[in-house]
Structure 1
Amino acid sequence: MVSTGAVPNLVFRQLRGQRSAGEFAAAVRRAAREIGEQVACDARYIGRVESGEIRCPNYAYERVFLHMFPGASLADLGFSARESVRGRGARTVSGPPPGPGDGPHGGTDDTDHTDEESDVLRRVFMMSGTATVAAASLGLGGTPASAASLTSLASLPAQRRVGESEVSAVEQAVRRIRVLDDRHGADGLYRQAARPLKAAYELLDAGTTTRRATADRLHAGAGELAISVGWLAHDSGRFDDARSHYAEALATARLAGDAGLEAHAFCNTSFLARDAGRPREAVRAAEAGQRAARTLGSPRLLALLALREAGGRAGLGDRTGCDRAIGRARAAFERGPAGGDPEWMSFFREAELELLEAQCWSALGDWSRAARHGRRAAALQDAHFTRNLALYRAQLTGDLARAGRVDEAAATGHQVLDLLGRVQSSRIRGMLAGAARVLEARPGGAAGAASFLTRHKEVASAT
């Protein structure tokens, strides 16, 4: 509950105008993407700002808000000066901890948590398998953690009660894993990310939450964490592990009656089934996901699920069914973003739509059409999403090679190799290796691609 010392931010409320809190939150997320920031703004966060609970935003939100309102200062937006809310002595709010994007790891200065168990849990979720450990394992700097310290970080203290702080720690772990995956790929993250996942499910098993809303958020957070870890397994070629994690998330969704989590689990299950060569299962999972998503108010989610269905139908050789699913996906996508769009779908922009369509035509053997969509995907992709930039170009390299565009394929392949020093993804390396095999099999050994093939062999032998 907000104390009587909290002063509503009426200026910020006026800036929202006639938009709902959810609509305004979607606008904040779009603005963040425009400048390469990662914020998970939702209606709850907007409410906390307007109520005065958040007196000063963290640095990421500050950059987004100043981008949305050029020329304005934080004071102009109704916020307090950062120095006036810094530290424990300035705290005027008791109750829920920071929401999406807040907390000590996001740069917020207006809240502090003194509960010892919460601090331990925060270190478990924020450091074990995410920022600190991942940085060391990916060669991003920092001091490598010892096995003993990892064991300590992943050990949960005895819990008397699971509250808002613990749930927020789970939610932040999901966000940090997603950001690291976007930038660097899955291979160096998977083993470490399994640690906070284990801790999250231990919290669920403890069954000591006292509020239904807190329990619902914990189920949703644990399920999303299972999907995130499943995706890391998926992208690093551990398909059995991925299938297990996605099934765990689906079971959590069913137990909690969470349609959004259920749709997400089916979406990833469909994707995995397609990559694992089970196209009929991919179609069924995508259809189940669409049924779960119908009441969620997110046309973009329905678009993504329709594309998952299209991918499965392409794998079955069903060109007509694939084309129809793509048509439904494009129609839904054109309806634009909505307040019901889930946070995890921040990656699903026009570039991703083009990539997924390219993959459909590639599976159907229409290489030239696939390459056209692949070029659009690569041209549209935000350079901040390094992993996806490498992925899109790897897909394009293969389609160009199969379409007989040898020189263009080689040039695009070089671009992928340029990115592999920063991206660790078995999936991307496998796609590029497939393109190299196609070029090698061409008459004359694809003389125009000789430098790419030589360089690819050197990189492959070094990994």
Structure 2
Amino acid sequence: MASSTVTSSQPPRPSRPNLAFRRLRAQRSPGEFAAAVRRAAREIGERVSCDARYIGRVEAGEIRCPNYAYERVFLHMFPGRTLTDLGFAPRSSVRGRGARDTDEAPPPHTASPSHASHETEGAYETYEAQENRYDPHDPHDPCHSYDPHDPYENHEQNDEESDVQRRAFMTGGTATVAAASMVPFGVAFGSPAAAADRRVHRAGTSEAGALEEAVRKIRLLDDRHGADGLYRRAAAPLRTAYALLDAGTTRQATADRLYAGAGELAISVGWLAHDSGRFDDARSHYAEALATSRMSGDPGLEAHAFCNTAFLARDAGRPREAVRAAQAAQRAARPLGSPRLLSLLALREAGGWAGLADRAGCEQALARAQALYERGPSETDPEWMTFYGEAELEGLEAQCWSTLGDWPRAARHARRAAALQDPHFTRNLALYTAELADDLARGGRPDEAALAGLQVLDLLNEVQSSRIQTMLAGTARVLLPHRRASGVSAFLDRHASLPRTA
């Protein structure tokens, strides 16, 4: 629904989907294609927070013309094509004014018409008007590289308040993101007591969008840098999320988004605790997410919470609980129709069976996971599963064989996982290589283990993960008797010089 400031000369929003863009995605899932868009953006120095939901909106025709950052990325991905070739409407027909050439960068700090933020809902991304006011290449600009794509246009609190929210995501760290975004609504979440003492306005779509973006940002930072430096800072957005639930909302659709966002944020924070060795904290956060899923009747969130609970139980030495949690996750996930999700959950179950030394149970679960994975991606795959590709499948299978003591087989899968991993995901690359080093060391190949261990040490300049450091410490202990083997002493000396984490 257009606002009253939209002129009648603007064409109505099209109802037809963008079939040209859908063909370009081919067999990739929306999540996989979104990951390719983010990689392409990094190649040209852009940063866009593209996800499966954004791809869905483009393909549905809701985004008639992308903002300039996305335009540059898409034209880089598909050289020789124009925006029209990609299925988008000409910018002039969307904006109601002359379009710039596609290769022309938006002029910095150009004044924008006062009605720009009120144009037809879905006609283009809500940041489009903002992009004319700020230079997207200026690292000090408050909107630098932030790329919102949630439909805020019809919310009554959208104008100034949503601008503050968006800028807070760019200028604030993980700890202040959600809290800063709520300041215009009279909410200060510096502590639980402060949250309780303030009168909170009812939450709307802007707050739900802030919550969803906090989840994405935490996941992105974890992929690149690991959990250790993030866990403490992620607690503030989580407190904010549950304060928003207490504040309430007038619309059920917004309430559903808030519950889902709070639950996913609890899982993300739980994972940061898990990966940094704080198992009790992780268990608490996962239980909180599970309770949230039950209150809101969200089977997708329930499956995700049980999935992570199974993983934690395996790492904490409770393999039978891992099996039960993974099976509960599969029961919750079956109605969702995502083979890839069921594949991941079968791997979680396999990890539990391996911990119980039940080789037959483990092999059956692994075979099921492989068969489900081979069915391919689906439109119903959850957004949080973008990490689950062939590399992760190989890495989790390697962990199962390692637990069962089949070191050569574990090493083969770990080597494959490291080779398949996108190097942008530094944490996972370090994890798979650390798994490979440990399997090689325990399998009697100390020289190869030392070489892999040195590669992990190189990656630790970018990654902070107690889990990976614990694995590497175990490898070092296994290699101590082999100090004279080629490369082993170099690895042991470098490992010994690492600063010890508290």
TM-score, normalization by structure 2? 0.78
* Cα distance, 1:191–1:128 mapped onto 2, change above 3 Å: farther
Structure 2 distance, partners of 1:373, 1:101, is: 44
Moved more, 362-371 or 102-111: 102-111
Gaps of 5+ in 1: 134-148
Q: Are residue 188 (structure 1) and residue 232 (structure 2) matched?
A: no
* C-alpha deviation, 1:90, in angstroms: 2.0
Q: 1:34-53 residue pairs with structure 2 within 5 A?
A: 35=40, 39-42=50-53, 45-46=56-57, 50-51=61-62
Q: Are residue 415 (structure 1) and residue 424 (structure 2) matched?
A: no
Structure 2 distance, partners of 1:100, 1:300, is: 32
* Cα distance, 1:175–1:360 mapped onto 2, change above 3 Å: same
Q: Are residue 159 (structure 1) and residue 200 (structure 2) matched?
A: yes
Which letter does structure 2 place at the counterpart of 1:15?
A
* C-alpha deviation, 1:151, in angstroms: 3.7
Q: 1:8-407 residue pairs with structure 2 within 5 A?
A: 8=13, 13-16=18-21, 25-26=30-31, 28-29=33-34, 31-32=36-37, 35=40, 39-42=50-53, 45-46=56-57, 50-51=61-62, 55-57=65-67, 59=69, 61-62=70-71, 65-66=74-75, 69-74=78-83, 76=85, 77-80=88-91, 81=99, 87=112, 89-93=115-119, 104=143, 106-107=146-147, 115=159, 117-118=161-162, 129-130=173-174, 151=190, 158-207=199-248, 209-407=249-447
* C-alpha deviation, 1:6, in angstroms: 5.9
Give 1 or 2: higher helix fraction.
1
* Cα distance, 1:14–1:393 mapped onto 2, change above 3 Å: closer
Structure 1 distance, partners of 2:81, 2:23, is: 20
Q: Are residue 454 (structure 1) and residue 493 (structure 2) matched?
A: yes
> Match of 2:327, SS?
helix
Tell me the alpha carbon deviations over residues 403-460 of structure 1, each in whole angstroms, 9 at most, x when there is no partner.
01111100010000001111111111111001001111x3566564011001100014
Structure showing greater Rg: 2
> Match of 2:61, SS?
helix
* Residue number in structure 2 paired with 1:143: none
Structure 2 distance, partners of 1:199, 1:380, is: 38
| 8 A Cα contact 2:333 2:342, kept in partner | yes
Structure 1 distance, partners of 2:90, 2:214, is: 27
Structure 2 distance, partners of 1:205, 1:338, is: 35
Number of residue-to-residue matches in the alignment: 445
* C-alpha deviation, 1:21, in angstroms: 13
| 8 A Cα contact 1:297 1:339, kept in partner | no
| 8 A Cα contact 2:32 2:386, kept in partner | no
* C-alpha deviation, 1:211, in angstroms: 1.2
* C-alpha deviation, 1:100, in angstroms: 12
* C-alpha deviation, 1:354, in angstroms: 0.4
Which letter does structure 2 place at the counterpart of 1:72?
R
Moved more, 17-26 or 124-133: 17-26
Structure 2 distance, partners of 1:97, 1:12, is: 13
* Cα distance, 1:324–1:63 mapped onto 2, change above 3 Å: farther
* Cα distance, 1:407–1:90 mapped onto 2, change above 3 Å: same
Structure 1 distance, partners of 2:486, 2:382, is: 47
* Cα distance, 1:108–1:251 mapped onto 2, change above 3 Å: closer
Structure 2 distance, partners of 1:205, 1:6, is: 41
Structure 2 distance, partners of 1:34, 1:56, is: 17
| 8 A Cα contact 1:124 1:196, kept in partner | no
* C-alpha deviation, 1:159, in angstroms: 2.9
* Residue number in structure 2 paired with 1:139: none
* C-alpha deviation, 1:44, in angstroms: 8.3
* Cα distance, 1:184–1:443 mapped onto 2, change above 3 Å: closer
Which letter does structure 2 place at the counterpart of 1:29?
A
> Match of 1:50, SS?
coil
| 8 A Cα contact 1:126 1:172, kept in partner | no
| 8 A Cα contact 1:272 1:282, kept in partner | yes
Moved more, 28-37 or 160-169: 28-37
> Match of 2:461, SS?
coil
> Match of 2:405, SS?
coil
Structure 2 distance, partners of 1:345, 1:44, is: 15
| 8 A Cα contact 1:185 1:387, kept in partner | yes
Which letter does structure 1 place at the counterpart of 2:66?
C
* C-alpha deviation, 1:40, in angstroms: 1.2
Structure 2 distance, partners of 1:425, 1:101, is: 35
* Cα distance, 1:218–1:150 mapped onto 2, change above 3 Å: closer
Tell me the alpha carbon deviations over residues 20-65 of structure 1, each in whole angstroms, 9 at most, x when there is no partner.
999874563254366367521327852697145x643362x43553
Structure 2 distance, partners of 1:107, 1:43, is: 10
Which letter does structure 1 place at the counterpart of 2:34?
R
> Match of 2:300, SS?
helix
| 8 A Cα contact 1:49 1:55, kept in partner | no
Q: Are residue 431 (structure 1) and residue 468 (structure 2) matched?
A: no
| 8 A Cα contact 2:446 2:488, kept in partner | yes
TM-score, normalization by structure 1? 0.85
* C-alpha deviation, 1:118, in angstroms: 4.5
Structure 2 distance, partners of 1:242, 1:206, is: 26
Which letter does structure 2 place at the counterpart of 1:160?
H
Which letter does structure 2 place at the counterpart of 1:28?
F
Structure 2 distance, partners of 1:212, 1:264, is: 22
| 8 A Cα contact 1:122 1:166, kept in partner | no
> Match of 2:498, SS?
helix
> Match of 2:277, SS?
coil
Structure 2 distance, partners of 1:453, 1:323, is: 35
What is the root-mean-square deviation of aligned Cα atoms in Å? 3.7
Gaps of 5+ in 2: 43-47, 92-98, 101-105, 131-142, 178-187
Percent identity of equivalent pairs = 59
Which letter does structure 2 place at the counterpart of 1:182?
D
